[in-house]
Amino acid sequence: MQLIPANIYSALNEPFVLTDEQKQFFAKNGFIKIKNVFSKAVIDFMDTEISNEVNRLNKQQLAMEDRDTYGKAFLQIMNIWRNSELVKEIVFGKRLAKIATELLGVSGVRLYHDQALYKEPSGGHTPWHADQYYWPIGTDRTVTAWIPLQATPLHLGPLEFCAQSFQLTEGRDKQISDESESFLANTLANSGFEHVVEAFDLGEISFHMGWLYHRAGPNLSQQMRKVMTMIYMDKESTLQSPKNHNQQADWDTWCPGAKIGEVIDTVLNPILFQ
């Protein structure tokens, strides 16, 4: 049963037309920022419903000064769609899933999981990293949609990208940490690839590949930097043998019942577009 207003539902599901230039930019650089994907009305609806769930589900009680670098970077609430039918309709929207499908050049995508990333006032930087370090997925056809729930100027800590860095293999064994920040900052600075740091307009959304290195600056403001993400994978993605304990944990949590070498076709990984 459709639970959200008809105009919001339509906006979440109607196609967004990508240009050939946008597809080529993503293929070359491993990321893209796309303006005007959603209207203010849609973003405001997402903000209300997702923020309600983040506030309800958040278990972080440590003071900022008592947290490690990862804990200072953001509040992280995952698979909100499992807790809210309204958020499920947002996460299962076909507009973003179709964009992901076309950018990856595949015939369809599954959901890996969603996650809200809320950087608190005075929250710290997010160190350089590649998401796919955490994922037991046997393909590089993976992409994250990064959806700011407000306009995000530089002082709020928008996502930053190292263009084309998905080509590098150095640092793929680094989890998000002070070590990854130090090692990758040096490695990427010497790579010759461009470090892209830009604000996000309201309704502007980015997509980045699983092996693209990225980071975010601290939140220097007194307002929450609110972001929702959806992680998509080629619908034919198979489970690979975990390469670290984080990948084992992801297998257990986000792909329960999946078998090594077989398509990740579980109740938590539905096809969202094909």
Pairing of strands 195-197, 126-129: unpaired
Question: What is d(CA 256, CA 11) in angstroms, rounded to the nearest whole number?
Answer: 32
Residue 39: pLDDT above 60? yes
* 228 located within any domain: yes
262 class by beta-carbon count within 10 Å (0-12 exposed, 13-18 middle, 19+ buried): exposed
* 112 located within any domain: yes
User: What is the model's pLDDT at position 64?
Assistant: 81
> Which pLDDT tens digit goes with each residue over 170-208?
999 999 999 999 999 999 999 999 999 999 999 999 999
- Percentage, residues of the chain above pLDDT 70: 99
User: What is the model's pLDDT at position 69?
Assistant: 85
Q: Within 13 A of 28's CA, how many CA atoms are on the CB side?
A: 8
Average pLDDT over residues 220-230: 97
User: What is the model's pLDDT at position 129?
Assistant: 96
* 14 located within any domain: no
Residue 62 CB contacts under 8 Å (≥ 6 apart), including other chains? 71
* 68 located within any domain: yes
CA distances from 251 to 126, 131, 135 (A): 24, 14, 8
Q: What is the CA radius of gyration of the chain?
A: 18
User: What is the model's pLDDT at position 70?
Assistant: 83
Beta strands in 164-217 (DSSP E): 195-197, 205-209, 214-216
User: What is the model's pLDDT at position 247?
Assistant: 98
> Which pLDDT tens digit goes with each residue over 126-153?
999 999 999 999 999 999 999 999 999 9
* 248 located within any domain: yes
User: What is the model's pLDDT at position 1?
Assistant: 55
Domain span at residue 42? Answer: 25-253
* 272 located within any domain: no
Residue 65: pLDDT above 90? no
Round the average pLDDT of the chain to a whole number and report it.
96
* CATH code, 249: 2.60.120.620
User: What is the model's pLDDT at position 2?
Assistant: 66
Residue 47: pLDDT above 60? yes
* 223 located within any domain: yes
* 16 located within any domain: no
Query: Could you tell me the strand order of the sheet in which 214-216 lies?
Result: 126-129, 214-216, 159-162, 195-197
Q: How far is CA 262 from the centre of its chain?
A: 24
- pTM higher than the cut 0.85: yes
Q: How many domains does the chain have?
A: 1
User: What is the model's pLDDT at position 60?
Assistant: 83
- Residue 3 — pLDDT band, cuts 50, 70, 90? confident
